[in-house]
Amino acid sequence: MHQVMRHHYHFSLFILLLAVFSACREESASPPESPNSLMREQPAPAAKVSDPLPLPKTGEGSFENLVADFESKDRGIWQKPNMVISLLGDLEGKTVADIGAGTGYFTFRMVPKAKKVIGIDIDQRFIDFMDSVKVRLDVRYRDRFETRLAKADDPLLRPEEADAVVLVNTYGYIKNRGQYLKTLWKGMAPGGRLLIIDFKKNNLPIGPPDEFKVSLSQAERELLSSGFSIDRVDQDALDYQYIILAEKP
């Protein structure tokens, strides 16, 4: 859920594509290959940029700067994306919805692991961005990835469509969360898992202002009142964020 200005779109795309190639090159354990081959083999790498930037306090700024913030190499340290995704368990054969996907930071990392991944956002600019990256994926992965422009009050999931849902740095931007969770519930399959990661209500060096933060205890209450069960709560695994893993019984 992001409200930002868009500037220098193509330069932003260049940053992300350069990040994809750089990370693929670093993570590949096989002998050096051509850039195109690396892109095919590693469609969802850790993001890299030349210089880390702090996450904006307000979400304001150019689209270019926001992309650089989302894809900052510092984020790979404090966000721990591989650990976060592992919390969902085995995704083989499953459909995953990444709500508030932004640049696809988590979305593209899950594509090789799942049957289908839906990158959902309410900002058309991020949808366009992810679609531009999608066309660079090997054809074997393209059918696994879909973007979806949603509404602020509805992720527009079909009934019981998602086996897992990810909400990272997004929950605090949702208005009327109780109703939103009930709508989300309908789009999740029985036994579906909901992973919420959001910023702690502390004086943090990164993250949004307090008005866009929801305390852990409040998030738990909202989930329980919407019918979800809570499987795991963790305030220590991530430096700046808490983790809630819930389930639709």
Q: What is the CATH number of the domain that holds 121?
A: 3.40.50.150
| Structural domain contains residue 229 | yes
Q: What average pLDDT does the chain have?
A: 78
Total domains, the chain: 1
| Structural domain contains residue 190 | yes
Q: Is the pLDDT of residue 167 over 50?
A: yes
* Mean pLDDT, rounded, for 230-235: 97
Q: What does the block give as tokens for 129?
A: 């961005």
Q: Is the pLDDT of residue 42 over 70?
A: no
pLDDT of residue 242: 97
* Mean pLDDT, rounded, for 95-117: 96
Q: Is the pLDDT of residue 39 over 60?
A: no
Q: What does the block give as tokens for 244?
A: 């809630």
**Residues 6 or more apart in contact with residue 162 via CB below 8 angstroms:** 95, 96, 97, 118, 187, 188, 189, 192
Rounded to whole angstroms, how far apart are CA atoms 59 and 12?
16
Least Cα distance to 43 among 128, 114, 97 occurs for: 114
The residue that leads in pLDDT, 66 or 155, is 155
pLDDT of residue 11: 37
* Mean pLDDT, rounded, for 107-127: 95
pTM value surpassing 0.85: no
Range of the domain at 204: 79-247
| Structural domain contains residue 143 | yes
| Structural domain contains residue 17 | no
Q: Is the pLDDT of residue 1 over 90?
A: no
- Which three-class secondary structure state does DSSP give residue 175? coil
| Structural domain contains residue 88 | yes
| Structural domain contains residue 177 | yes
The residue that leads in pLDDT, 48 or 195, is 195
| Structural domain contains residue 10 | no
Sheet order of strands, 241-247 included: 145-149, 116-121, 95-99, 162-168, 188-199, 241-247, 229-234
Question: What number of residues does the chain have?
Answer: 249
| Structural domain contains residue 58 | no
Q: Is 47 in contact with 105 (CB distance < 8 Å)?
A: yes
Q: Is 123 in contact with 57 (CB distance < 8 Å)?
A: no
Q: Is 149 in contact with 127 (CB distance < 8 Å)?
A: yes
Q: Is 243 in contact with 169 (CB distance < 8 Å)?
A: no
Q: Is the pLDDT of residue 95 over 70?
A: yes
**Residues 6 or more apart in contact with residue 189 via CB below 8 angstroms:** 160, 161, 162, 163, 248
Rounded to whole angstroms, how far apart are CA atoms 196 and 184?
13
For 15, counting Cβ atoms within 10 Å of its Cβ (0-12 exposed, 13-18 middle, 19+ buried), the class is: buried
The tens digit of pLDDT for each residue in 45-55 reads 333 322 222 33
Percentage of the chain with pLDDT > 90?
A: 60
